[in-house]
Chains A and B, each alone.
Chain A
Amino acid sequence: MQAATIGLEHFLIVGMLLFVAGLFTVVTRRNAIGILMGVELILNSANINYVAFARYSGGHDGQIFSVFVIMLAAAEAAIGLAIVLGIYRTFETIDVEATDVLRG
């Protein structure tokens, strides 16, 4: 089949690159929304791995899991952005380094 020309590793490497980009975003960003975007990238990379393993081992279980991940990502985005709005209302900024009122 034509799909056989592209091996599992290719998809895993794309997932790895997405994960690395997401991790870099989470580590270096100081904008709360930017950090959330990095988390979305990491979830996407996990999804690519799930679906790739499902494809190269048969069955649909990996695809089911990726749908669950997408569902939870939607919940995470809704809650996360609501929290960001709350932070903005309290601190008038969403720079995560400014939100340190609990620091002694």
Chain B
Amino acid sequence: MIYAVLFYLVAAFTVACAAGVALSRNVVYSAFALMGALFGTAGMFAFLGADFVATVQVLVYVGGILVLTLFAIMLTHQISEVRVSNRSVAAVPAAVLIAAVAGVLLLAILRAPWKTIDPTAPQATTYAIGELFLGRFLLPFELASIVLLTALVGAIVLSRKELRG
């Protein structure tokens, strides 16, 4: 019972924060709403018994990507003009279109005959995930490392000041 109440609270928090990202008029507020949505997603992972993924979510998303985003906001805006920083256009047609998308998705979710098993009690998943990463998924894992390295070197090359002359 208390489990379900907690779930609905976290879910409502996540969705409210996501709506804040979509609707906030200040890009800094959007960033902080995004932080709430990311924490809420980590909570969803915890409800799904995925402790490792929830930890990675908090470490990488909240600790890395969000800080990077805030840095980018601060570097590309004068603080004084931050009030009107998040212009959005054509909200009404977009809302109509996206309501249609949401309707189709909702119908698909509710109509589809999902074959589910009764989930077992949550156990620690880190060991099993580590085994999979260094076993069956070794090649994608190494590939992802190379992609990450390339992307970060590329980001440094793109964002440093150009040396002229």
A contact residues vs B (CB 8 Å cutoff) = 1-14, 16-25, 27-31, 33-34, 36-38, 40-41, 44, 47-48, 51-52, 54-58, 60-61, 63-64, 66-68, 70-79, 81-86, 88, 94-95
Contact = CB atoms under 8 A, between A and B. Distances in A.
Given A29-B86, A30-B89, A63 B53 contact: yes
Contacts of B75: 85, 88
A11 B8 CA distance: 10
Contacts of A60: 125, 128-129, 132
Taking each of A23, A31, A36, which has the highest tally of chain B beta carbons within 10 Å of its own beta carbon? Answer: A31
Contacts of A10: 7, 11
Contacts of B87: 29-31, 95
Contact of A63 (B1, B4, B120, B129): B129
Q: Does more than half of chain B's interface fall in helix, strand or loop, or is it mixed?
A: helix
Given A40-B34, A85-B76, A24 B98 contact: yes
Interface string B55-85: 0110011001100110111011000000001
Q: Does more than half of chain A's interface fall in helix, strand or loop, or is it mixed?
A: helix
Q: Which 10 A-B pairs have the closest CB atoms?
A: A75-B151, A21-B18, A82-B158, A82-B159, A28-B88, A82-B155, A78-B155, A56-B116, A81-B72, A88-B76
Taking each of A63, A73, A76, which has the highest tally of chain B beta carbons within 10 Å of its own beta carbon? Answer: A63
